[in-house]
Structure 1
Amino acid sequence: MGIAHRQLRRTPADAAPASGGGSTMSMASAAMHRASDSDEPRESGESGDFSHDTTETTAVQSIPASALLLALSALTAVGFTRIFADTKFLGSMLFIVVSLHAFCLALRLFKVRGYIAIPAAFAVMFTLLAWKYYPDTMSGPFPTPESWQAFLADLQLARGQFPSSVAPVAAVGGFIVLATASTAAAAILSDAFAFRAYGRVETTVPNAVLFVFASALGADRHRVAITTAWLACALAVIVAMRVTHAQVEHVWIGNRSRVLARSLPVAAVLAGCAAAGAAIVGPRLPGAGETALFKPSKKNDVTQVLSPLVDIRSRLVTLSDTELFTVAAAEPNYWRATALTEFDGSTWKLPDGNLAPVDGSFAAPAPQSHNVVQQIHIAALGGNLLPAAYSAVSLQDGKAYWVDTTGTLVVPGIGLQQGSNYTVVSSITDVAASRLGSAPETLPADDPSISLPNNFPESVTQTAFEVTAAGASRYEKALALQNWFRSQFVYDLTVQRGHSDDAIENFLRVRRGFCEQFSGAFAAMARSVGIPARVAVGFTPGDAGADGRYHVYGRNAHAWPEVWFQDVGWVSFEPTPGRGQPGAEERTGVIPQQANAGDPNSATPITTPTTTPVAQPGGPTTTIANTSGGTPQTSVPTSTDSSSSSSNGPSIWLALVVLLIAAIATWAFALPRVLRRIRLARSPATSQQAIALSWQRAAHALALIGAQPRSSETFIEHAQRVGANFEIDAHSVQQLALDCTAAVYGNRGSEIRVQRAEQLSAQIVLAVKDQLDARKRLIAVFDPRMAEVLLPA
């Protein structure tokens, strides 16, 4: 029902119109009454830009649609079960979502204004989040500034870990807080779009964004069932919104007389766009294609190691049963790849180190040690780091470089290859706990093993002092810290990964984690109380086979801390529950154990092969000097093979930007053409209706600058007020008002009058468009409602 109809109703049938207003209502004007109540597009906007000719949908009438919208939010929450490792989070998330939908409905029942209701809903959302995740920060039923700081810390933690995380991730810490907050915010926004902005398709957008995100990055669990249910519910919501608001206004995607028929194709197209977006954009999102620590490209291909401590949990799970290499040795040990000594508050990193080419003996054996020969056969392990017992002193087969500061063997060129063999001799320390307890508490020379970032959390340092307070020596403090972790924490692969400051605080709060957290937290806390420490990365011994070799699998990937002792060197400790290094029982008090083949979360004792081991070598060893001539190397020598070039990160972001720009340009280009087609399809049947429609379009445009008609005005009175108070050509508005009055009240119309009315209406629309600010013009490019208003005839 158009503006012309509204003004026609305001003039009684038995009264004369205002000056220049035309005659009383006739049979022809009654026909115009019926025509103007047909399928003409009408817009609504915030701040009263457009008026409604009927009573708005009441909150009670909207309850069925509210229930469907709640179901859509619930299915969006269910979609996160593909992101997280378990479903324990779902109950709390659904409780918060249901509570917020109920709260929004209550605010509408009490007719609370939107500018009050929406902020109030977000305040309730944060209160529920604090109640669930930060109850110890609450002051009675209210959150505190401490709650807000904890919330921001978790969001920062999730942001920092997102690029390298791979689903499924743990339903704890920053990730679950972010997911719950996003789902709750989507619930509030969808309710606002549905019942305060009178949206239809727009109602599903907040939930659609989250659902596409979960679809793109989530694990392939119940993918078809969840997606089908969500799309069906989204379609039902769109139809319900159209039916609910049918008596209020028309929208750009259909007519009231054929709501279902017009809505179904549009909803289906939008569902298809969402699926296409997930397929195109999803694989290019950060973290979706993150390279694994041990990632096989084919069944028998050698994998590539990009970082010694990147998302170990996912690699433990992904390659749990993949054999990486085998070792023939007289005794089991931790096969150590390297050590990470630099901690910047976010990541433990490899330091720059001098590379010395080795072939034969290259280092002196450690004091009070014995030699162990290891024959290493590479199966599916890639990269440049050759694992061996610490500390290697001789390489008898193969070619490598030695980094003395970290005790690392580096294979040059393309690195480890499937089927390659190496023979390494290592010097294993046999130091007693009593000697460690009496060792001088000095620091290693030229080593950052005591440094911490300036913003390292004071709470973590305080905890470290409390745990080690009873220790009289460096060894006793390190042992106390180790035993505290082993007795007070639980090994769990499903927790959130990370070893940054925020991750350490979260780890100490939830007290669940795996080797990455245990080793990183141990080393950082040890440094905070003055103990030089670093993180070693490698593998537990593996399974003893009948062939006399230790078979090392993906599940054996491990990280552990090392502490420096004067005249002894670096000594390993084991804070991770369920893990224990062979040969270290006397100083650590931990029996040898490693991940169970059937369940990485459980432990099994370490056994030895029953066949004859490799003979042990004797004799002295020699030290090989650094690389000859020039500046020492600080990076791994590489081959000229271009196939191992840098990552495609920049190209991914470029593709996303190009895709986004293309989508925006396509929408802006196609929207006016689609609206013109809709307008042509709704051409008025008579010249009188065409003239009235021209006035209606001009009136809608005038409403954008605050010149909407008043309830007591006729067409001509409205035109006179516009000409006197707004920068609109008075003659054009008054002439259009005269033509509309003659058509509606006098049933007078002709082709010439129709053309003149259309031209005058177009002039008014263009004049209004020139007066709009940049923000409204930009909105008009993408908003179908405003674009329809400003579309020239």
Structure 2
Amino acid sequence: MSEPIDDRTVRAAKPAPAPAEPSVGTTRRKKPKMPKLSRSGARPPRAPGVPAPQLPRGTVSAATWRDLAVVTALSLVGVWGFAPAFGDTGYLLAGIGGVLVGTGAGYLSHRFRLNAFVTALGAIAVYFILGSALAMPGYALFAVLPTLQTLRGLALGSVFGWADIVTLAAPVGAPDYITVLPYAAGWLVGLVSAVLVLRWMPRHDRTPLRLAILLIGPILLYVMGVLIGTQTPFLATLRGIAFAVVALVWLGWRKGSANNASLQERKGLNRNKLIGTAIIVVAATLVTGLAGSALVPAPESRFVLREKVVPPFDPEDYPSPLAGFRKYTKDLGESELMTVTGLKAADKIRLAVMDTYDGRLWDVAGPETQTGGSGSFSLVGERMPDAPLLVSESSRSVTVSVGAYSGVWVPVVGYPTKLTLPTEPEDKTQDLRYNAATATTVLTSGVDKGYSYSFDAQIQDVYSDEALKNVPTADVTLPAVDKVPDVVTAKAAEYVGTATTPVAQLREIERQLKANGFLSHGLASDAVPSRAGHGADRIEELFTRNQMIGDEEQFAAAFALMARSLGYPARVVMGFAPENIEEGAEVTVTGEDITAWVEVPFEGVGWISFSPTPDEKEIPQDQNPKPKTEPQPQVRQPPRAEKQAEDLLTNVDINDSDDEKKDDDAFELPGWLVAILWIVGVPLVLYLVPLLVIALIKSRRRKRRREAATADARAAGAWDEALDSFTELGFSVPAVGTRGMLARDLGTQVSSHATAQGESTDAGASDGEDAGTVLTRLADGADEAVFAGVDATDEHVDGLWQASERSSVAAAAAVGWWRRQLSRFRVSSRKTGSTTGSTRQAAHKGRSRRRAKGESQK
């Protein structure tokens, strides 16, 4: 039988053949047909629904570069508007750098065709790597390299910077991460805009709506600069004209395209565009420059967030009210602080409630330490929220006129239910904060002489000890107390004695303090001096000296700590207790009426008051107030308000060495870092671990095929590897058929999917070849290597593996993003198919017979 005529032989016999390109198989590349032109020279319009021609992967057209440049320029105009909120030009480096970093990350995503997850992950990595030099250069190593402080600032600034920028006075210079805000905003807008311009827009027609979508990011930056700014406009005319002109001109030129028109028509269109552009520029300049002055609102009516957003009240910004206790007894003892009407006998005026102790002060719990028992300060109106645990059958209607008193703490009686503030001469209703759990009322702008207000309040019912005999304390969680002297716990156990019920134990402590203590305010008229303060050293001194000498500040603080040591939720209340109250009469409150007491909650009853301060009585003079332990020279201490908090502490025997040792030895990650690790790390591990395992399996499969013993096995392995890739991508691979039949079938599927996805059929292939052509060349080359009867060369086999890779890449580019992700988690290990396997075995047998025949003839 004569040998079949090979197509390559026929092509070689033709005269003046064109130089043949190196190919793996026998299929010849076809030149792409050029669309026919009309008589006017214009290309025929594209049919509706047909996607625009696609450029090779990673290539960016000149028009797309212009779009990206315009969107970036508009974003920079928006960043410029952050100037009023910042005191210097450091925000420009951060904002411009953020836009460029985000845009660069978007370009890399397009250049390497990264999926959404890898794009986001890479953009975040670039954000942290370059952010130190751009947003926090003063804290970076050599002003460039990241440090723990800069990494922390980049994380915190992107989350908390938005609240800080509108709650802090402009220009904002602190905290250290505040410049991260323009960097993060620019980075996000740059990233999203670049992805839309480079990856989304080229797949669709440039309609006005789609072009307008690209302006959303720059517009948000522009609006953000206005909202976080001040009431004084910042170059509103100049920035408005620049933004409007660039955006309108770009939309006008980008929408109309003269590519499909003849040369004469194109000249006319361009002339009309130039005239329209000039009209737009002139109109925008006139409207913005001339009419803008009349349309721009007055500074006082300009809407900016910092004027509308009121920062939350933080008690830690103010000194502890109890720390200034002696100010009232020494400096304001005879001053008329306020006049109050509506009081009844035994009523006390509540100033503030302190429920946390740190070894230096009893203080009002701040936002970070507040619990359900201490509550938080909320912006309220005239109506106050209900107080938890309150049991009341009596009420008061009280009016207060402020005299010498001043401060943010508003004096009230009981638990207010309605509070009316005057609106003249100044309306301070927006400054009112209220803590329903403690009935502590705050006016952040402060009250001073001449201010008056009225309120209705509920008064906590009073219960006898007999009624509370079998009542447990309420299940209330208060902020922890720290650094309590050991002597407090010892004295509490001693004073309790044989009492077993909560109220009995608390009354015993109260009785012992009253019986054994002596009242002294530290005045010059007092027989025995009494040091101010209620830190750990002062409380220990109260119990270790021969005589317990102090005033309400020390005794209330000590009682609350003793109650806490027994497990009872106790808090210290500071206020005024006027004497000789006549119902309905006006009562004048002076500094001498200052007092402090302790409240403990009981189940179903409410907060019950305890007053452990002893009555005034003569202090024995025949004993010197010396320490019971080691004698030390005593020096009269100045008032606490004149010393720093750290100077008030001396060495106190507090048995917390083990806890401190554990704290020193243990290394704890910051909370923000733990949160980031959980939010980012867990999904990352769940994604990467299976992906890594499957990638190793595929790599082993590929290596086994590529390093097969014979050349025909390696060639067939290249074909099998391509079929496995197609199967993992979700293509339907026929179970039976020759390689050529399978190649044509799969090529048709790839073309169909590419058209549906808006991709080019030659995406991922080389030299403009579509996926079907590459796959056909691979099939022909594999057949030649298997059936030729001679060993294929290494160059031929390498070419087959390259064709296999190109066909797989082209197939991946033709399907959607989700199918590409799923293919990473699929493993299709195709063994030799039925048809290809039988022909391959037949080829091996035929080659063996031919070799044996040749040897016998020799």
State the TM bucket, normalised to the shorter chain: 0.3 to 0.5
Give the alignment's TM-score, normalised by structure 2: 0.32
Structure with the larger RCO, 1 or 2 (CA within 8 Å, 6+ apart): 1
Q: How high is the TM-score relative to the length of structure 1?
A: 0.34
